[in-house]
């Protein structure tokens, strides 16, 4: 079975200076586990969509990443999670924003796609749908993570928000340097049938308020897939990815301008987003199994595994 | 002052059979009022953004349209409103989803753009932000509309949802024909400085559940503006516009493929969306003041006014 699976665990100020040998070992194991879970699906002839969900579930269950179990805390001290999936074969999509107490938000996004009649559900309504569909819930205790909590406590009495992997914040001023660097997760895959799919899951920004929605659950911004062009999952400063309609922009540059997957990602991430002031990255795959990691930040937790037996796990700049 | 202002009040099954002389007079007056409010801004050298907000506020205040005061009821019998604005000069954007008790959701969307540090806020969080910023609220009584209420009562005990201007529903089966046809509103404008802007506001679908978010507040799907290409506001079956990333697709077809405004809108609305099964329409303007109405449904409430003194108000097929 021919396949390609690409994952990310967030982009940002990821440098050797903030890592150590133990952290490198932990992240390597975590990314390899996710690659294995997704590859197991693809090896058996499973769909790109199922592989994307399997890989992301593994990262959601690992507190190292800002998604699912490792989600950061909002201004009110709770976890509010966003996720989306898109199927490149059918252009079907499902997304959720601001849901609480769901073990695997990516599964809920897929359930929205398959059984809601809608594309995008939010907040308590999305939770009601999850309950109705029998999606697995998680207690506050399960979702609690001491390092995320401490990260929040340091800035909860301010108006500051904190992006993962970034030393500054959305208000332009300094915040205490917490030293905790974690990230949004995503996966894209091409399966043996040549179908592609994309998914993204995140806890958003530490100390976020007002039920803020970032780019992750927005089809076209943080997540997009179309067999004709590419499957994309983004991570970074969500507001800028939203304004840039970043994921769909890559698809359009390929479809309408004839750019390669790599060139299209480079235009969006390394030119257009830089000009807008947007830091972050994306992973991409096309229906031929070609893939790329692309980021304008210091690093991005990332991995790739394919049917040729290649496996890549990396963190720092290209 | 050279300017162009284009508005819509929803697309769908709008035919002479569902209208009468009184309704035609009411809609004509409502659309003319909105054109006047927006044009007054532009005549004085105001910005496209301010004109868009002024025109949309007028329609939000008129119970004829499914936005602001005329918003439809959700499954729980409340009004939950979505809105977005985007500034084509700066690519700044603001959006809100699922807010209650706000008199003019479009003003709140602009406030998000200007003063939140974010792009997209939702539900009670968006309301908290509104309160903090002193945005005008509205009581349930103000937002109550008997015809909307009756429309909801007829289907509230079912799983059906109802799109405005459409005789069927998202579940594929029949619903009681309420005879009430109302719509999402939107505006796009080009001002004397050659800047363009877009805005959209809606109450969504009658009997909607699960804090469903449609295309209206999603940048790139229902609303988009970029001075280089076009300003777009969509209306129709939101789920399909989300999957098609409809508004940004028009922009990309112009920027990357060199299509005219009209041709780009035709490709998206009359070809791509039709193939996906998506009914609806859009209004568009570019920085030269060229504009178009484009829809694949029987009709669209629409209007245009410009500095040459032309004024168009129409409902039925082109």
Q: Chain A: nearest CA to B233, how far in angstroms?
A: 15
B126: which chain A residues are within 8 Å (Cβ-Cβ)? 210-211
Pairing relationship of beta strands B120-122 and B92-99 according to DSSP bridges: parallel
pLDDT at B193 over 50: yes
- Please state, for a pLDDT cut of 70, what percent of chain A lies above it: 93
Please report whether residue A41 resides in a domain. yes
Mean pLDDT confidence for A200-218: 91
Is residue A318 in a domain?
Answer: no
The answer to which of B58-67, B74-83, B246-255 has the lowest mean pLDDT is B74-83
Q: What is the pTM of this model?
A: 0.93
The CATH number of whichever domain residue A148 belongs to comes to 3.60.20.30
B218 touches chain A (CB under 8 A): yes
Q: What are the angstrom distances between the C-alpha of B276 and each of B222, B269, B280, B282?
A: 16, 10, 12, 16
Q: Strands A299-306 and B120-122: what pairing?
A: unpaired
Residues in B closer than 8 angstroms to A129, CB to CB, are 209-210
Beta strands in B16-174 (DSSP E): 81-87, 92-99, 120-122
CB B235 within 8 Å of CB B183: yes
A72 contacts chain B (CB < 8 A): no
**Confidence class for position A175, pLDDT limits 50, 70, 90:** very low
- The answer to whether residue A165 is domain-embedded is yes
Tokens of B67: 């936005």
Q: What is the pLDDT of residue B163?
A: 65
- Judged against a pLDDT cut of 50, whether residue B260 lies above it is answered with yes
Closest approach of A187 to chain B, Cα-based (Å): 19
B125-152 average pLDDT score? 89
CB-CB: which of B120, B248, B253 is closest to A248? B248
Residue B318: inside a domain: no
Rounded CA-CA distance A5/B68 in Å is 45
Please name the residue of chain A whose CA is at the shortest distance from the CA of residue B213: A120
Whether B223 is catalytic: no
Q: Which of A68-77, B145-154, B219-228 has the lowest mean pLDDT?
A: B145-154
Q: Using alpha carbons, list the distances in angstroms from residue B18 to B180, B181, B272.
A: 9, 8, 28
Question: Dihedral sign, CA of B92, B98, B101, B106?
Answer: positive
Question: What does the pLDDT read at residue A282?
Answer: 97
Whether residue A302 lies within 8 A of chain B, CB to CB, comes out as no
Asked if residues A106 and A53 have their Cβ atoms less than 8 Å apart, the reply is: yes
- Decide if B248 and A244 are in contact by the 8 Å CB cutoff: no
- Closest by alpha carbon to A78, among A208, A168, A182? A208
Distance CA B195, CA B231 (A): 10
CA–CA dist A192, A287 (Å, integer):
10
What pLDDT does A127 receive? 95
Q: From CA B257, how far away is CA B265, in angstroms rounded?
A: 13
B91 contacts on A by Cβ (under 8 Å): 243-244, 276
Instruction: Give the whole-angstrom CA distance, residue A23 versus residue B33.
Output: 63
Measured CA to CA, the distance from residue B39 to residue B28 in angstroms comes to: 16
Is A248's Cβ below 8 Å from some Cβ in B?
yes
Instruction: Return the pLDDT at A154.
Output: 79
What is the average pLDDT across B133-155? 85
Residue that wins the pLDDT comparison between B122 and A12:
B122
Q: pLDDT tens, A79-109? A: 899 999 999 999 999 999 999 999 999 999 9
Q: Which residue in chain A is spatially nearest to B128 when comparing CA positions?
A: A210
Please state the separation of Cα A266 from the chain's center in Å: 18
Only one residue has tokens 């009997």, namely B207
pLDDT at A253: 98
Q: B81-87 and B196-202: which strand pairing?
A: antiparallel
Return the biggest CA–CA distance within chain B. 53
Task: At B224, list the tokens.
Answer: 């988009």
Give the residue, A228 or A206, on which the prediction is more confident.
A228
Q: Out of A161, A224, A276, whose CB is closest to B91?
A: A276
Rounded mean pLDDT, B38-44: 98
Q: Which tokens go with B256? A: 């990357």
| Interface contact A56, partner B, CB < 8 A | no
Number of domains forming the structure of chain A: 1
Q: Could you give the CA distance from residue B192 to residue B211 in angstroms, rounded to a whole number? A: 39
Specify which residues B200 forms β-bridges with: B84, B186
Asked if A262 and A254 count as a contact pair (C-beta separation under 8 A), the reply is no
- CA gyration radius, chain A: 17
In this structure, of A37-41, A178-182, A236-240, B107-111, the range with the lowest mean pLDDT score is: A178-182
> Is the four-CA dihedral B232, B233, B236, B237 of positive or negative sign?
positive
Q: What is the pLDDT, as a whole number, of residue B178?
A: 40
As a whole number, mean pLDDT of residues A236-261 equals: 97
Q: What is the mean pLDDT of residues B45-74?
A: 94
Strand A280-285 to strand B299-306: parallel, antiparallel, or no bridges (unpaired)? unpaired
What's the complex ipTM? 0.92
CA distances from A296 to A18, A31, A199, B227 (A): 18, 21, 21, 25
| More confident position, B106 or B176 | B106
For A239-277, the three-class secondary structure string (H helix, E strand, C coil) is HHHHHHCHHHHHHHHHHHHCCCHHHHHHHHHHHHHHHHC
- Supply the pLDDT for residue A179: 39
Beta strands A92-99; A120-122: pairing state: parallel
Residue B61, both tokens: 């205040």
H or E, element range at A77: none
User: Cβ distance A180 to A18 under 8 Å?
Assistant: no
Q: Is residue A185 part of a domain?
A: yes
Q: CA-based Rg of chain B, rounded to a whole angstrom? A: 17
On the question of pLDDT at A161 being above 80, the answer is no
Alpha carbons A112 and A129: distance in angstroms, whole number: 8
SS3 A219: strand
Average pLDDT over every residue of A191-214 = 93
Range(s) of the domain holding residue B46: 4-313
Lowest mean pLDDT among B30-34, B108-112, B235-239: B235-239
A311 CB burial (10 A radius; 0-12, 13-18, 19+): middle
**Residue B124 within any structural domain of the chain:** yes
Share of chain B above pLDDT 70, in %: 93
Which of A4-18, A172-186, B27-41, B131-145 is the most confident on average? Answer: B27-41
A5-14, A141-150, A165-174, A265-274: range with highest mean pLDDT: A265-274
What mean pLDDT value characterizes chain A? 91
Check whether B180 has a pLDDT greater than 50.
Answer: no
User: Please, which residues have CB within 8 angstroms of residue A59's CB and are 6 or more apart in sequence?
Assistant: A7, A9, A30, A34, A65, A67, A68, A185, A201
pLDDT of residue A318: 63
Selecting from B124, B219, B252 the residue whose C-beta is nearest the C-beta of A252 gives: B252
Q: Of B212, B236, B258, which to mutate for an interface test with A (greatest number of A Cβ within 10 Å)?
A: B212
Return the axis-axis angle of helices A48-60 and A21-43, rounded to nearest 10°: 150
Is the model's pLDDT at B181 over the cut of 60?
A: no
CA atoms within 13 A on the CB side of A230: 33
DSSP annotation of A50 reads H
Cβ contact A88:A231 at 8 Å: yes
Encoding tokens for residue A181?
A: 């660097």
């Amino acid at each position: 079975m021919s396949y390609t699976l690409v994952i990310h665990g967030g982009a940002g100020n990821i440098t050797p200076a903030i890592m150590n040998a133990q952290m490198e070992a932990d992240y390597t194991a975590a990314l390899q586990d996710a690659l294995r879970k997704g590859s197991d699906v693809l090896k058996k002839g499973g769909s790109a969509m199922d592989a994307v969900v399997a890989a992301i579930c593994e990262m959601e269950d690992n507190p190292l990443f800002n998604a699912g179990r490792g989600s950061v805390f909002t201004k009110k001290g709770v976890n509010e999670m966003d996720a989306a999936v898109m199927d490149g074969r059918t252009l079907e999509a499902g997304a959720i924003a601001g849901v609480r107490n769901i073990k695997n938000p990516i599964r809920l996004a897929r359930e929205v796609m398959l059984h809601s009649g809608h594309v995008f559900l939010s907040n308590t309504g999305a939770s009601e749908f999850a309950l109705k569909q029998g999606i697995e819930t998680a207690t506050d205790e399960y979702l609690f993570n001491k390092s995320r909590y401490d990260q929040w406590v340091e800035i909860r009495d301010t108006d500051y928000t904190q992006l993962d992997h970034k030393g500054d914040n959305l208000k332009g001023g300094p915040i205490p340097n917490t030293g905790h660097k974690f990230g949004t997760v995503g996966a894209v895959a091409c399966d043996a049938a040549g179908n592609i799919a994309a998914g993204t899951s995140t806890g958003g920004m530490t100390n976020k308020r007002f039920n803020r929605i970032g780019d992750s659950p927005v089809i076209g911004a943080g997540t997009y897939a179309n067999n004709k062009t590419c499957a994309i999952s983004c991570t970074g400063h969500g507001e800028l990815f939203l304004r840039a309609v970043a994921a769909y922009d890559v698809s359009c540059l390929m479809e309408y301008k004839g750019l390669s997957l790599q060139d299209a990602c480079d235009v969006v991430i390394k030119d257009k987003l830089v000009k807008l002031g947007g830091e972050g990255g994306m992973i991409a795959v096309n229906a031929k199994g070609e893939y790329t990691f692309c980021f304008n930040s210091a690093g991005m937790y990332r991995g790739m595994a394919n049917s040729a037996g290649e496996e890549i796990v990396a963190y720092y700049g290209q």
